[in-house]
Amino acid sequence: MRVSVALCTYNGERFLPAQLASIRGQDRLPDELVACDDGSTDRTVELLRAFAAESPFRVRVEVNPTRLGSSDNFARAVSHCTGSLIALCDQDDVWHPDKLATQEAALAADPGANFAFSDADVVDEHGEPLGYTLWRSIGFGRREQKQFAAGEGFECLLRRYRVTGATLMVRAALRELLLPVPRGWVHDAWFALVLSAVGRGIPVAEPLVHYRRHGGQQVGATLRSVGEEFDAARRLTANGCDAVADRYAAALARLEKLPGVSAERLELLAGKVAFHRKRAWLRRRAWLPARLPGVVGELLRGNYGRYARGVLAAGQDVLLR
């Protein structure tokens, strides 16, 4: 199989050289690297072109004429890849030497799988380990890993995001199902949802990436206490619940048109939309006595466990606005 790397950059000169070196140092070199830059004003493009001039594999550098944003930039990079497997790549991480080889082998051994994703070591801006992994930081435990491996990843993803793009490898044959990325969706969450709706993914428990935490990144990985989780939930207002419902309604409209999505999964997705509409309505109810029957009803129907974080989310809907 031919393996492409889809790398997106924006003002990444600080960390990009280390990531490029890790790609060049792969046990299994990629067949091509497609780098799409989103209008950097630093030396990022210069670094990419210098790397391309010396690379033992094909490197294509594209500079967007206008800013696209991260998700659309990744979509553009993926659209230009020519390999049968596409590994998504963040500019500020560092890959383990066996990253590509391990994921390619996993997909080669399981032709029915649509994608593979892995755990990662979380490091600070200097590359020093922070003592925990990406999956630990998002609470992706063995139970859900087994669900993914059994083909139930879609059901997991209706509760929470579980797949980080920096660790993701997808089959290029399914690219047309993924593009374009709908407004409001982050590319990796969208890719994982669609690929899980029409098939299944392989969770590789071995960390294959040094996932760097730093102040300039869009999404990070931190360990949070229950109190911190509750504080974070305060930001999911009634309007936020409506935004979640809108996002999944857009997903439902797309997935209804795709071959291979079961009626059961479409029904689950419609339930996700209805559940978050109900959460928005509950959050707008001023007093506890007015909210409690609705929250209890959703708990008894299993919707808090099916579409959110169970009792914790129910408690948030009772206490928060």
Q: In tens digits, what is the pLDDT along the chain, a chain of 321 residues?
A: 999 999 999 999 999 999 999 999 999 999 999 999 999 999 999 999 999 999 999 999 999 999 999 999 999 999 999 999 999 999 999 999 999 999 999 999 999 999 999 999 999 999 999 999 999 999 999 999 999 999 999 999 999 999 999 999 999 999 999 999 999 999 999 999 999 999 999 999 999 999 999 765 555 556 655 555 555 555 578 899 999 999 999 999 999 999 999 999 999 999 999 999 999 999 888 777 788 899 999 999 999 999 999 998 998 888 876
Residues of the chain with CATH 3.90.550.10: 3-212
Rounded Cα distance, 189 and 126, in Å: 27
C-beta of residue 144 within 8 angstroms of C-beta of residue 157: no
**pTM attached to this predicted model:** 0.92
CATH topology for 3-212 is: Spore Coat Polysaccharide Biosynthesis Protein SpsA; Chain A (3.90.550)
